[in-house]
Structure 1
Amino acid sequence: MTTTISNQYLTAKINHKGAELFSLKTTNTEYIWEGNPAFWGKHSPVLFPIVGTLKNNTYSYNNTNYQLSRHGFARDMTFDLIEKTENSATFSIQSSQATLANYPFLFELQIGYSLEDKKLNITYKVINKSATQMPFSIGAHPAFALAGNFEDYQLVFENEEVLEYNLLEDNLIVNTTEILEKKNSLVLLNYKLFENDALIFKNLASKSLSILHHKRPFLRVNYQGFPHLGIWTVQNAPFLCIEPWYGYSDTSKSNGNLFEKEGIQILEANGIFNSNFSIEII
């Protein structure tokens, strides 16, 4: 089942499975990756209640071990549509017996989409319905379609800064860092950058990132408030993911305690967490 929202500039389509955005287009241009499984069969999954991979796909809580697969379970769940207008829609899932087996916390997750001129605003609302603290991560994973030659595209960050990133090895964070090179303030895209999987930025001053085509901006992701960012593609694939995150994968030295996990968010009993980012067509 899908839901469509639109305004005079944009049309967005969301699949109720995972509340996943699978189309954002103007009259002539589609901006979201088509999901060809030959490269990567998703479009823009939502990552919850973890971002990335746990060491051995396992964590401990109250002296019990639990299993959570990479990026969590929300992307595979069917969301309810709880509010709809012509240019907005809000979706929700809640904890169940199935989720409690892997994540023993009572929660509700709401994901909202709204169009404002040439911008799609995306909101996350996490509600802790437990009487205890709830550890969680949440993140976005939108893949943007890049037609033509991948090397004809560039990135420009909001601020002029040193772009220090961590790599992944066997889906876990490597603690050694590298610097993403720039030329005249632009990052020149090439597949070699992603030979070792995603680039993980733990600490960026920039809170927006633009994709340029032949040095002309055509899309910007604004992620004010998100502390971490991932950038990723598959070798020879015509897309790029720009991923605002609260949290990231374990390191090989992780002790498995979810409350002590790097980047984890702790939501107080009956607390509410809100965040938002936007995709802006330039």
Structure 2
Amino acid sequence: MTTTISNSILSAKINHKGAELVSLQNLETKREYIWEGKPEFWGKHSPILFPIVGTLKNNSYEYEGKIFSLNRHGFARDFDFQLIVQETDKVVFSLQYNSDTFCIYPFKFELQLIYTLKKSELIITYKVINKDQKTIPFSIGGHPAFALNDTFERYSLEFESGEKLISYTLEKDLLSNKTKNIELKNNQLPLTYSLFEKDALVFKSLQSKQIKILENNSTILNFKFNDFPHFGIWTKINAPFICLEPWLGYADTTNANGNILDKEGIQLVESNSYKEYNFSIEII
């Protein structure tokens, strides 16, 4: 089941499973900006990563002396969300803790995904609500895949700052202490599949809080992520999409001790409180 919101410029379609954005279209040009999800490359569009981002060491974590199993990127993307607010240009989806989540993530939470259209921009808000009597540890992130209509090498990413990018290498899906430096030219990173031969580019920090996608040197969208300190960029070899992934948290390091409270990048939300973060996609 899907729900669509729109204004005079854009329409966005959200699947109730995972509250996943599956379409963002310019109504005038009919251009589709979200990857269509062909399974031969990657069968998703823009999944939510919660309550972890990336992979845990041994796919498990320890909390209060107990071991819990949790698969890569968590479970929120696999559950049906409830539509709790519906307006022409805004929707709010909610996932509440339940017996299935509690046995692998022993916390009473509510996760809301809020989609809002404002002119040529889609704002995506994550709201993590603690309904428990104890502090909840979590990570959260986005994984939107943007459709590339032309040859991959005709695209580039333009960073807000002319920084030196430091990407952490993945070893069996875990973050190693090995890094590689990526030089920008005029703030731009030309896209080539060779960048992703060892999986995603993983950045523990970026100066930039905006990244533009350029098609044949012309900007097609501006991705803004001011609330997110960590970031990933990913594609499949020969696939016609690029993922820009704003994160709070990232995969376990190879030397992680397994305690969820000691995990690098872990976030905390206090009892009877909430944390809220947003990023946006501006169509140019």
The normalised TM-score by structure 2 is 0.98
Residue 99 of structure 1: SS of its match in structure 2?
Answer: helix
Q: Give the corresponding residue for 2:11.
A: 11
Q: Give the corresponding residue for 2:250.
A: 248
Q: Please list, as runs of the form range in 1=range in 2, the aligned pairs for 1:94-133 lying within 5 A after superposition.
A: 94-133=96-135
Distance (whole Å) between structure 2 residues aligned to residue 109 and residue 182 of structure 1: 37
Distance (whole Å) between structure 1 residues aligned to residue 131 and residue 3 of structure 2: 27
Distance (whole Å) between structure 2 residues aligned to residue 182 and residue 172 of structure 1: 26
Distance (whole Å) between structure 2 residues aligned to residue 17 and residue 56 of structure 1: 27
Q: Give the corresponding residue for 1:211.
A: 213
Q: Please list, as runs of the form range in 1=range in 2, the aligned pairs for 1:85-96 lying within 5 A after superposition.
A: 85-96=87-98
The CA RMSD measured in Å over matched residues stands at 0.7
Distance (whole Å) between structure 1 residues aligned to residue 109 and residue 175 of structure 2: 28
**Displacement of 1:279:** 0.5
Distance (whole Å) between structure 2 residues aligned to residue 95 and residue 192 of structure 1: 41
**Displacement of 1:258:** 0.1
Q: 2:81 aligns with which of 79, 82, 107?
A: 79
Higher mean alpha-carbon deviation, 160-169 vs 37-46, is at: 160-169
Distance (whole Å) between structure 1 residues aligned to residue 246 and residue 115 of structure 2: 16
The CA deviation string for residues 214-254 of structure 1, in whole angstroms up to 9 with x for no partner, is 11111111001211000000000000000000000001110
Residue 193 of structure 1: SS of its match in structure 2?
Answer: helix
**Displacement of 1:201:** 0.7
Q: Give the corresponding residue for 2:22.
A: 22
**Displacement of 1:212:** 0.2
Q: Please list, as runs of the form range in 1=range in 2, the aligned pairs for 1:39-54 lying within 5 A after superposition.
A: 39-54=41-56
**Displacement of 1:189:** 0.4
**Displacement of 1:169:** 1.7
Q: Please list, as runs of the form range in 1=range in 2, the aligned pairs for 1:126-145 lying within 5 A after superposition.
A: 126-145=128-147
Residue 225 of structure 1: SS of its match in structure 2?
Answer: coil
Distance (whole Å) between structure 2 residues aligned to residue 138 and residue 44 of structure 1: 13
Structure 2: tracts of 5 or more residues without a match? none
2:44 maps to a residue whose letter is K
Distance (whole Å) between structure 2 residues aligned to residue 180 and residue 264 of structure 1: 26
Distance (whole Å) between structure 1 residues aligned to residue 185 and residue 116 of structure 2: 35
**Displacement of 1:205:** 1.1
Residue 102 of structure 1: SS of its match in structure 2?
Answer: coil
Distance (whole Å) between structure 2 residues aligned to residue 263 and residue 82 of structure 1: 30
The CA deviation string for residues 144-200 of structure 1, in whole angstroms up to 9 with x for no partner, is 000121000011111111111112121111211111122232111000000000001
Distance (whole Å) between structure 1 residues aligned to residue 223 and residue 186 of structure 2: 21
Distance (whole Å) between structure 2 residues aligned to residue 203 and residue 175 of structure 1: 14
Identity of aligned residues (%): 56
Residue 111 of structure 1: SS of its match in structure 2?
Answer: strand
Distance (whole Å) between structure 1 residues aligned to residue 131 and residue 158 of structure 2: 40
Distance (whole Å) between structure 1 residues aligned to residue 94 and residue 236 of structure 2: 30
Distance (whole Å) between structure 2 residues aligned to residue 225 and residue 148 of structure 1: 31
Distance (whole Å) between structure 1 residues aligned to residue 39 and residue 204 of structure 2: 29
Q: 2:155 aligns with which of 137, 153, 156?
A: 153
The normalised TM-score by structure 1 is 0.99
Residue 212 of structure 2: SS of its match in structure 1?
Answer: strand
Distance (whole Å) between structure 1 residues aligned to residue 181 and residue 282 of structure 2: 27
**Displacement of 1:24:** 0.2
Distance (whole Å) between structure 2 residues aligned to residue 254 and residue 276 of structure 1: 28
Residue 251 of structure 2: SS of its match in structure 1?
Answer: coil
Q: Give the corresponding residue for 1:174.
A: 176
Distance (whole Å) between structure 1 residues aligned to residue 10 and residue 169 of structure 2: 35
